[in-house]
Structure 1
Amino acid sequence: MNRIVIFASGSGSNAENIIQFFQNSEQIEVTHVLSNNPNAGVFDRCERLDIPASLFEKSSFKDDDTVLNFLLAEADYIVLAGFLWKIPAAIVEAFPNKIVNIHPALLPKFGGKGMYGMNVHKAVKTSGAKETGITIHYVNEHYDEGAIIFQASTAVTESDTPESIAQKVHELEYEHFPRVLESLILKNG
């Protein structure tokens, strides 16, 4: 069984989508959700879905090996689903090409530090871009610079608002993220 640990900082809608997608899989399971945000909605979702979820402190993530040791024991793959902190080098090195993130734009455009959530959708609207989408990519030691695994796009119209752009992007996330993860994990074992 391939084990996924999900990192989430917010409401957890992508985490829930992934958990539900793999609930009946005989080859892939979500074993745990980790969050850095004590108020994250993902905790309520995990309780409802009967998935263990834990809060961790910045020090156990960046300054010592507490989170790393947990991951080494519990995860084959790490999935970032709306997680906002940069992954420490020690974790990246321990899981080469086994940490996957989803970004709500077509990288390399609209990526980097501070480019998450509505910040991205506002930047897309302000730029006058005619399309946006999602990028699923491997995580390396830099924000949004890991090798691209998959992209899907959607049109941006003049009448779109950052909120309507966000909705279009969420639909792409829900449609593609679990399926791309499944394909990647089954291919790599």
Structure 2
Amino acid sequence: MKRLTILASGSGSNAENIVNYFKDNNDIKVIQVLTNNKNAKVIDRCKRLTIKCLLFNRDDFYHSNTILNLLKETSDYIILAGFLWKIPVNIIKEFDKRILNIHPALLPKYGGKGMYGKHIHLKVLKNKETKTGISIHYVNENYDEGAIIFQKEVSLSDKETLASIQEKIHQLEMANFPKIIEKVIKQNG
């Protein structure tokens, strides 16, 4: 069985979707969710889903091997679902090609530090883009620059709003992220 740890910083809708997708799967299981935000709604979602959720701080993540050691003991893959911190090199090296992230834009456009959530969608609106989408990629040492595994685009009209773009992206994330995680794990073993 392949064990997944999800890292999340926010509401946890992607985390919940992934947990539910794999709940009856005998080959892939979400073992735990780790969060760096004591106010993240993902904590309440985990309680409801009866999934272990651990809160960690910046020192544990960047200046010690605490999180690395926990992940080595418990996890085969790491899934970033709205996680806003850069992953330390020691974790990336240990989990090479086993850390996946979802990004709410068609990379390489609108990637990099500070490019997440509504910040991306507002730029998409400002630039009058005719399409946007999601990218699922491996994580490397740079924000949003790992090898792209999957992209799905959606057309935009000139009537789009922040809310309508957010909804379109959310639907793409919900429909595709768990399936692509499963596909990658089955291909890589």
> Normalised by the size of structure 2, how large is the TM-score?
0.99
Whether 1:6 aligns to 2:43 is no
Shift of residue 89, structure 1, vs aligned partner:
0.4
SS at match of 2:96: coil
For the residues of structure 2 that align with 1:120 and 1:146, how far apart are their CA atoms? 18
Structure 1 residues 90-143: Cα deviation after superposition (integer angstroms, max 9, x where no partner): 000000000000000000000000000000100111111100000000000000
Corresponding residue for residue 98 of structure 1: 98
Query: For the Cα contact (< 8 Å) 1:105–1:135, is it kept in 2?
Result: yes
For the residues of structure 2 that align with 1:72 and 1:113, how far apart are their CA atoms? 27
Corresponding residue for residue 68 of structure 2: 68
Amino acid at match of 1:143: Y
For the residues of structure 2 that align with 1:183 and 1:144, how far apart are their CA atoms? 20
Amino acid at match of 1:5: T
Structure 1 residues 117-174: Cα deviation after superposition (integer angstroms, max 9, x where no partner): 0001001111111000000000000000000000000011110011110110000000
For the residues of structure 2 that align with 1:42 and 1:185, how far apart are their CA atoms? 24
> Normalised by the size of structure 1, how large is the TM-score?
0.99
* Alignment map for 1:8-87 (pairs within 5 Å): 8-87=8-87
Amino acid at match of 1:4: L
For the residues of structure 1 that align with 2:86 and 2:163, how far apart are their CA atoms? 26
Structure 1 stretches of 5 or more lacking a match?
Answer: none
Across the aligned residues of Structure 1 and Structure 2, the Cα RMSD in angstroms comes to 0.4
Shift of residue 187, structure 1, vs aligned partner:
1.2
Corresponding residue for residue 115 of structure 1: 115
Query: For the Cα contact (< 8 Å) 1:121–1:163, is it kept in 2?
Result: no
For the residues of structure 2 that align with 1:19 and 1:115, how far apart are their CA atoms? 25
Structure 2 stretches of 5 or more lacking a match?
Answer: none
For the residues of structure 2 that align with 1:10 and 1:18, how far apart are their CA atoms? 15
Corresponding residue for residue 186 of structure 1: 186
Which ranges of 4 or more aligned residues in structure 1 deviate by more than 6 Å? none
For the residues of structure 2 that align with 1:115 and 1:156, how far apart are their CA atoms? 19
Amino acid at match of 1:50: T
